[in-house]
Structure formats: C-alpha cells, structure tokens
Structure 1
Amino acid sequence: MAGLREAREAFGEWVDRVALESPARLTLGAFALTILLFTGLLSLPFATTTGHRAPFIDALFTSTSAVCVTGLVTVDTGTFWSPWGLAIIGLAIKVGGLGIMTLASLAGLAVSRRLGLTQRILAAGESRASGLGDLASLLRTVIIVSTSVELLIAAFLIPRFLTLDYGLAKSFGYSLFYGVSAFNNAGFTPDPVGLYPYAGDAWILVPIGLGVFIGGLGYPVYLNLIRQWRNPRRWSLHTKLTLVTVTVLAFISAAFLAVFEWTNPDTLGDHSSGKTIGNIFFQSINQRSGGFASFDIGLAREQTWLLEDVLMFVGGGSGSTAGGIRVTTLAVLVLAAWAEARGRRDIEAFGKRIGTEVLRVAVSITLMGLFVVIVTTGIFMWQTDIALDRALYEVVSAYATCGLSTGITGSLDSDAKMTLIITMYLGRVGSLTLASALMLNRQRRVIRYPSERPIIG
C-alpha cells in the first residue's frame, strides 16, 4: 500500500509539473488519448442501433467531433447510435468541454507564474485573480458552473418534450443531451431530423440558444461576473471585451442573415415575421460556434455561407468551449487598427492599455488559423472535387469546431473524413497550444537591434 501511495503521489507531482511547465504538451496528449478512448467505446456493438460495430473511421470521426465539441457528423446521430451510443457521445462532449476550460485556465496559470514580477501582477488580473488556483479547486469550480447550466437547460426542455409525447425516459434523456450539447457548443442533436421541426418553438430554441451563448463566453468571464456582478466597473478587461464583441457580432450577424435569407423560401422565406425573427437570432448565436441549425444550411444562399465562414472563424470567448480564433483576438486586432488610424501610440480599451505582446499573439493565432484553413481547403478540394464554397465552409466549420454543414459530410470518403478529423483536432488544440507556447517562450535580450520602419501598404 505504501508503494502504491508513493507511486500515486509521484504521478500527481508529474502531472502538476507538466501542467504548469508545458500546458501545450498536456493539451495535445490529453485530447489525443481522450479521443482514442471514446473511439473504442463507440466501436462496441451496443453503441449502434443495429448491434453491429460502427466503421472505425465513423467512430473516430464522431469521437473527435464530440471531444472537440464540434458537431460535424458522418452518420445521423439520432438513428445510427443507440441510447448507449448517445450516452457515450454526451459523456465525450462533457469531458471534452471540461478539458477545454480546465486546460485553458491552466495555461493562463502557467503563463502568470512564468512571467516577471510586474508582468505577473498584470497577468493575475486576468487569470489567477479570476479563480485559477490549484488544479482541484479549478476543476471543481468548472464542473459546478457547467453542470448547473446544463441541468437548468434540461429542466426547461423536459416539460416541452413531455407535451410532444416523447415519453418520460426519452424526454429526460433528450433534454439532458441537449443541455450538455448546448452549453458545450457541440451542436449534436439526438433527434433524427435535428431542430428543423422546432423552427418556431421558442420553448425549445430559447433555452438551447441561451445555453450556447453562455457556454461561448468562457470560464474566466463566468467567475468574474459571479464575483463582481454588482460592480461592472470592476469587471476585467477580458470580460468587457468578450461581452461587447459577442453582443456586437450577434446583432451584425442577425442583420446580415435577415438581408440574405428573409426572402429565401427554402430557409426563412415561408415563415411568419415573428418566426423568422426568432430563427434569425437563434441562428446568429449559433453561427459562431454553437453548430445548431433551425433550417437547412445546405439550402441557404452563398452569401450566408460566406458570412458564416467569417463568423465561425472568429468563434467564441477564450477559455470557453467555443472554437475559432476567439472574439478577444478579433477585438485586439480591431482596436490596434483603430489606434493606428487615430495616430495613437497605445492600444486602449475601457481605460486600460493593451500591450504589444498581446497584439503579437493575436496576429500569430490569426495567421496560423488562416494558414491551416487555406491549406486544408486545398487538400480537401483535391480529395473530393467539391466546389470552393462548400469545401471552405466545411473546413472552416471543422477548424472552428462549430459543426454547421452544407450537408456533404456524410458522403465523404475515408481520406476526406480523416482530413476533417485532423482539422478538428488542430482547431481545438491549435490556438490554445500556440498562445500558451508564445506566452511561455518570452526571452529577455540585453542587446537589441536598431529600429527601422519598413513601408506598409
């Protein structure tokens, strides 16, 4: 027993050391192992409705999509997977969502501990002061917050499913599945036809939409709001930037979606004005990362696809279950351009100055995302001969872990599916890994080269 206890303590110390010294390595390894574990579970015969083993590529694709909380599927979730399979997918979404928030918070903790004294004090205002303590308390807080919201969503959905004659067991199961999928921005639906039949049902769309919105804000924002909800002036800069950018993007996307789809009879054109407005706002929330759709995206206009390409690439809040380059990255880039246009030396927002090192990280994450999307789209088109508009949409959805699709995923061959699997994995761990690696790789140099400004533009 003593030897087992010593081994367990040694393993715990090793995990703590890796988590704080190399969060990037921990992120890559943890997600890869988790994906393989759930792939094995989904490959078992009882996970499918037919009782036969699912093809390995489909089990791997579904596992990756669930753990990376994406929502892209190669088989119909509601008809292909048995209740046990749906439970496994729901658990994979839950584990993946918890892992994302916890690892993102650990990366912030590692960064703040590796900086100098002055930089640590500044970083603490955005990370450690937001509740990033030891691993146990961090994980406990994340579990409490996420589970509470998921159960609240399920509690609102259960009565509605009961009125639709789903039965007690199915109503509870579907409601809990939707709660987990919504908060974690996963976009998986247990209904064989998805949310299309509920396009005008506010009782279902409102809880799911709010769950997606809350889940996309991020753990640092939750804790900051919980502690300082009475005093908005003391909200952190990260919280303010996230809330403002998310709100602005929601209204902008709703406005453009109304312009593009209001008269499209295949999507929103045949609905009443009230139903159309409700669907527009529901979709505007899901366009960035939620992945739920109340109408067939494949029948939408190409302008809508382009709009959603941009919104999916931006994604949600840092430290959240949403994907993309994150809204704070976009906010920093816009603020930098605004400062340059006004001839300001510093990037400023809400009475705070944003350091140039933050801008460098934002530029690096954006360029990495663009590089992955462009290269992967080229490879995907070469593998499938699919047109650029649909190929780009599918790749951006995979990289941004959004899950919206024009309907081509199920018809792909194994090579194209593997390309999307790798893209989902890179999209989930890429920005977090790159951001933490860049922040932890700061070097102090005594000698600096003389400054000279090249001509830009």
Structure 2
Amino acid sequence: MAAFGAFVLTGTLLLSLPAAADGQATPFMTALFTATSAASVTGLAVVDTSGHWSGFGETVILVLIQIGGFGIMALATVLSLLVSRRMGLRMAVTTGAETKSVSLGEVRQLVLGVLWVTLVFEVLLAAVLTLRWWTAYDLTFTAALHTGVFHSVSSFNNAGFSLYSDNLMGYATDPWITLPVAFGVIAGGLGFPVWVELWRFSRKHKEKRHWTLHAKFTLGMTAALLAVGFVAFLALEWTNPATMGPLDTEDKVLTAFFQSVMPRTAGFNSLDFGAMQTQTLLVTDMLMFIGGGSAGTAGGIKVTTFAVLILVAYANVRGEPTVHAGGRRLSAGTASQATTVAMLALGLVLAGTLVLMIVTPFTLDQILFETTSAFATVGLSTGITADVPPVGQAVLVFLMFVGRIGPITLASALALRRHSRLYELPEERPIVG
C-alpha cells in the first residue's frame, strides 16, 4: 500500500509540472485526482483528458494506467498463490504430505506470465483500433496509432480514460471501435489465473480437463452479469429519447452490450449516463459494486466474492451447515472472508455517499453512482465529477485508493492470518431476522 501511495504521489508531481498541461501548472488536487484515477485504473476525471493535458501529460496518464493495472494484476496473482500455498501447507500438515513455499523463481514466472498476457492483448487491440481509426476516420497514421495504443491500454486495464471529450459516444454505432474495447475490458477483468486455465484447457484432452472453482465462479458470474446488464439496458433505455431512443434496433443491441460490459469495471461510455433513467443507474450501481474477476484489472468486491455470498445465502435458506459448489465444499473461512469484504465495501460506499450529500447539491442517485464508481474503480459518471468541491474530490480519491488496494490486501490478510482459538466461550444465539 505504501508503494502504491508513492507511485500515486510521483504521478501527481509529474502531472503538476507545466509541461503536462501545455505550459500551465495544474492545481495539486486536480493532479492528485487524475494520478489516483489513472494509477487505480478508475477513469474518473475532473478535467477533459484531451483538452487539458499535453502530449507529455497524456503519456504520464498512460504510463500510470499501464503500471497500475499490471502491478495490481501481478500483486493479486502472487498473493493468490501465497494464500493457496498457505492453505495447502495446512492441509499437508494434516495429511502428512509434502509441500513447499513460494519461491522467487515462481514469483518471477508469474510476473513474466502476467506481462506476456498483458502485452499480447494490448498489442492485438492496438492493431485493430489503429487500423480502424486510420482507415475509417480523418486521422493520420501517427495520430491513429497514438489513439489506438492509448485506448488499448485503457481498455485492457479497465481504466476507461479516453482521448475524446465525450468518451466514446461519437463511436457508439461503430462495432469496430466498441467491440474491441469491450473485449479488452472483459479480457482484463477475467484475471490472469483464469486465462492460465483457459490456455491449459485448450491444450489438454477432454477427459483430462478440470476447472477450479475460481474459474467456474469467474466465468459463470461474468457471463450472468453481462446478460443481466444487457437486458436491463435494453429494457430501461429502449425508448429513452436521450440515449437509445433515436437508434435503430441493431445499434440499440450494440450499445446495450457495450454498456453492459463497462461496469466490469471500465469507465468507457457510448451513451450519456447523465441522461439515463434512475432505474438504469441503480442497476449499474449494483453491477459496478460487484465488479470483475479476482487477480485482474477490474475492481469491485469481485464476482467470486458475490458468488460465495449467493451460495452462503442459499445454504442457509436450505438449512445446510456447509456450503457446497461444483463438487467441492467451501471452507467456513471463505464464507466469512467474503462477508467481511462485502460489508466493509458497502460501509465505505455509504460513508462516502453521506459525505458527498453534505458537501454537494447533487441528488442521491447521482452521488451514489459517483461513489460506487470511485470505490469499484469503474470511472463511469453522470457528469458531476468536475463540479464536486475539493472536499468531495478528496473523498473520491480516498475511495479510489482504497477500492484499488483494499479488497486485495484485506482478503489476503484474512486468509493468511487465520488461526484456531485455544479455547471457546459458551455458545448463545441472539435472535436474527
């Protein structure tokens, strides 16, 4: 967490330089907000990215996004290995089997694997986007390459920063822009462990294939939430004259799919969220809060956490003492860990919402949308970010910082610190419900 703080501070200082904004020094809070948003791969912005920042400033933002996204993915992957090895060690002690700790060689291999996956996806996305902007729009090859690389890095890292003032609203009906960006967001949001399993799955014979619960939860919940978002956007915005209303059926389907992907959590938008129905904003709040996959570039409490919570509730309703899924039994520690992460996340979002309601004149749906987007490192907004006062911006900075680092470190700490009591107190059951 200290390293991430130092990284954000370095980005803040660089963005404060006159060279980052065409000779004009940027106020510290604006630089801090932008650096935090970029490093945490959120995408919220208090100034127009293309209008305020110079080429140097845009490069700093791009580097912050790349290092921030790669660093979080690598850190989360290594921590997940540490947790799994720690759990494996405890089981080995019980069964008498042998195990070993995580070696530096394994860490190096994991980091290189994350780097390889990142570069492959970003290069492919950059090639497609560059070719489209170069051949279909009035851009030189250099400008198209710059635009393509920037949006490729921003999409795979789930950042949502765009070089256009209206984000991607100008390309809402262009599938050669929106679909590659959506694919990049999904790819980055699945996480490195899932891509490793997908790779192994494609190389093994059918009878030898085996999916971990993590991969099943991530892929299953991602598909389910994409479907829920798609149907919700279509149903709620179909006749809205300020969003999907004027579009034909084919374009409505395209924009609904694109916007269902963005709460995964990337802040790109091809429609104006400020003009959307209140019901649509609430659905998006829930999708953003859940987020994407663990050990990836997405934020939120993660789809695996949400899946565990659903299974725990289902088991309790059925009166079952343990939670089963996919032919496996979930440990009690996993259930309590998921509950703790979700409750703390909910508490932070509500606390931030309360503060912003005090210091800003905006409505509850606008503020809740903003705070959820900040904590879940999404970057979607109804357009109020630039008008939030410095106190409110400081709250959003805190939520972005904690939302990027907090769930990862908290979940790992809970798993690694788990120990058994030497004694138990007398049992008593309070009335619940």
TM-score w.r.t. length of structure 2: 0.94
Amino acid at match of 2:177: I
The correspondence of residues 18-417 of structure 1 with structure 2, limited to 5 A, is 28-48=1-21, 50-115=22-87, 117-119=89-91, 134-163=106-135, 164-229=137-202, 230=204, 231=206, 233-417=209-393
Amino acid at match of 1:316: G
Moved more, 188-197 or 175-184: 188-197
SS of aligned partner of 1:306:
helix
Measure how far apart 1:367 and its partner are: 0.4
SS of aligned partner of 2:329:
strand
1:115–1:159 distance in 2 versus 1, CA, 3 Å: closer
Q: Answer whether contact 1:109 1:132 (CA < 8 A) is retained.
A: no
Amino acid at match of 2:23: G
Q: Answer whether contact 1:400 1:427 (CA < 8 A) is retained.
A: yes
Specify the alignment match of 2:97 in structure 1: none
Give the CA RMSD over aligned residues.
Answer: 2.0
Amino acid at match of 2:140: G
Q: Answer whether contact 2:189 2:264 (CA < 8 A) is retained.
A: no
Measure how far apart 1:121 and its partner are: 9.4
1:301-331 per-residue CA deviation (whole Å, 9 max, x = no partner) reads: 1111111111110010011111110000100
Distance 1:129 1:275 in 2: 52
Specify the alignment match of 1:14 in structure 2: none
What is the aligned length?
A: 424
Q: Answer whether contact 1:46 1:82 (CA < 8 A) is retained.
A: yes
1:187-209 per-residue CA deviation (whole Å, 9 max, x = no partner) reads: 00012332011110000011000
Distance 1:387 1:452 in 2: 43
Q: Answer whether contact 1:65 1:73 (CA < 8 A) is retained.
A: yes
1:89-124 per-residue CA deviation (whole Å, 9 max, x = no partner) reads: 1110000011111111222233244446344699xx
Q: Answer whether contact 1:105 1:132 (CA < 8 A) is retained.
A: no
Q: Answer whether contact 1:130 1:224 (CA < 8 A) is retained.
A: no
SS of aligned partner of 2:190:
coil
SS of aligned partner of 2:147:
helix
Specify the alignment match of 1:11 in structure 2: none
SS of aligned partner of 1:234:
coil
1:129–1:224 distance in 2 versus 1, CA, 3 Å: farther
The correspondence of residues 399-438 of structure 1 with structure 2, limited to 5 A, is 399-438=375-414
Amino acid at match of 1:285: V
% same residue: 43
1:137-176 per-residue CA deviation (whole Å, 9 max, x = no partner) reads: 2211111101110111011111110120211111001101
Measure how far apart 1:56 and its partner are: 1.2
Measure how far apart 1:447 and its partner are: 1.9
Structure 1 residue ranges (4+ consecutive) displaced by more than 6 angstroms after TM superposition: 128-132
Measure how far apart 1:446 and its partner are: 2.9
The unaligned stretches of length 5 or more in structure 1 are 1-27, 123-127
1:335–1:350 distance in 2 versus 1, CA, 3 Å: same
Q: Answer whether contact 1:394 1:405 (CA < 8 A) is retained.
A: yes
Moved more, 411-420 or 257-266: 411-420
1:419–1:306 distance in 2 versus 1, CA, 3 Å: same
Measure how far apart 1:346 and its partner are: 2.1
TM-score w.r.t. length of structure 1: 0.89
SS of aligned partner of 2:247:
coil
Distance 1:422 1:190 in 2: 25
Q: Answer whether contact 2:186 2:264 (CA < 8 A) is retained.
A: no
1:131–1:380 distance in 2 versus 1, CA, 3 Å: farther
1:119–1:404 distance in 2 versus 1, CA, 3 Å: farther
